[in-house]
Amino acid sequence: MNRPMLREALSLLDRHQPFVWAAVVRSVGSVPGKVGATLILRADGSFIGTVGGAALEERVKELARRAFQEQRSDLHHFELQTGRPGGLPSLCGGAVDIAVEYVRARPQILLWGGGHVARAFADLLPSLEVDFAVADDRPDWVTEARFPRATRREVVPPEELWSRLEPTEFTHLYVLGYDAAKDLEVLAGSALRFEGIIGLIASRTKRDRLFRSLRDRGLPPAGLARIRSPVGLAIGAETPAEIAVSMAAELVRDLHPENLPTRGLADRGTEPEP
């Protein structure tokens, strides 16, 4: 176990950056990298660490880049002997198994609106290892007492949201406000600027009116298509706590699409009526 590599991995998670972790998990015979030797590929393409160098390391770097592009993990076997079937150009004579794991960015959610649903949702996020910040234009609704685990609590007018906060810091934006006009300002300023998932809590009537207003402002269909409304899985949720559970379930589904069955949650619809 390499402490500097662990510290780097934790730092990347805390900075909400994805990476690939490649580690020797089994070795037989003479090999340059023993069990635990680790290599990390960062999002900017840089590497840190080593799994043994030479042709083995170059091959693992190629696999790490592919894993990053495809967001997939796998286990790879290497023969370190020229002449063996599939062997690398090496005279070591041993063999290694290397796990190449794609590690997703730790989610960082921004909640616009500090109301009852936002508070119930925020109570669930730490147990899911999801970081969150909250913003509202009402000081009494974004206090430390209401959101003790928030990474940031901002009192800000809706039209100044992205001048106060940096959109690239967040993976999801949930518009959970108390005022349709202010929600409209947040959506208008986010649909073409924020690259992550945008969720809007709204009744069908409110959603239709907001979308019509966004179209009147010139927002193209591609911008509207980025707004997910209603949010949460269809579980018949009614209370703020139940709606928060449905939102958390939807978030877990989005974070682990590879775990879904061929026919399952993804095929049963995701649009509850709030």
Give CA–CA dist 69/50, Å, rounded: 21
In this structure, what is the dihedral angle of CA atoms 174, 176, 180, 185, given to the nearest 10 degrees?
-40
Residue 77 sits in the same domain as residue 143 = no
Please compute Rg for the chain using Cα positions: 23
Residue 150 sits in the same domain as residue 96 = no
Residue 173 sits in the same domain as residue 82 = no
Domain range for 71: 14-103
Which of 103, 124, 139 is the endpoint of a domain?
A: 103
Q: Whole-model pTM?
A: 0.74
Residue 81 sits in the same domain as residue 189 = no
Residue 33 sits in the same domain as residue 72 = yes
Q: Could you give the residue ranges of the DSSP H alpha helices within 129-274?
A: 161-164, 180-190, 204-216, 221-225, 240-255
Give CA–CA dist 202/113, Å, rounded: 13
Tokens of 40: 């990390």
Q: Is residue 74 part of a domain?
A: yes
Which of 103, 128, 159 is the endpoint of a domain?
A: 103
Q: Is residue 24 part of a domain?
A: yes
Q: pLDDT digits over 66-125, tens only?
A: 999 998 999 998 887 655 555 555 555 678 899 999 998 888 999 999 999 999 999 999
Residue 139 sits in the same domain as residue 179 = yes
Q: Is residue 5 part of a domain?
A: no
Cross-sheet strand order for the sheet of 74-79: 47-49, 38-42, 19-28, 95-103, 74-79
Can you say whether the dihedral through the CA atoms of 15, 149, 194, 18 is positive or negative? Answer: positive
Q: Domain count of the chain?
A: 2
Residue 245 sits in the same domain as residue 158 = yes
Residue 123 sits in the same domain as residue 181 = yes
Residue 74 sits in the same domain as residue 116 = no
Q: pLDDT digits over 239-259, tens only?
A: 999 999 999 999 999 887 777
Give the model's pLDDT for residue 195.
Answer: 86
Per-residue pLDDT of the chain (274 residues; tens, 9 = 90+): 678 899 999 999 888 889 999 999 988 877 777 888 899 999 999 999 998 877 888 889 999 999 999 989 999 988 876 555 555 555 556 788 999 999 988 889 999 999 999 999 999 999 998 999 999 999 999 999 999 999 999 999 999 999 999 998 898 999 998 999 999 999 999 998 888 889 999 989 999 999 999 999 999 998 898 899 989 999 999 999 999 999 999 999 988 777 777 554 444 443 333 3
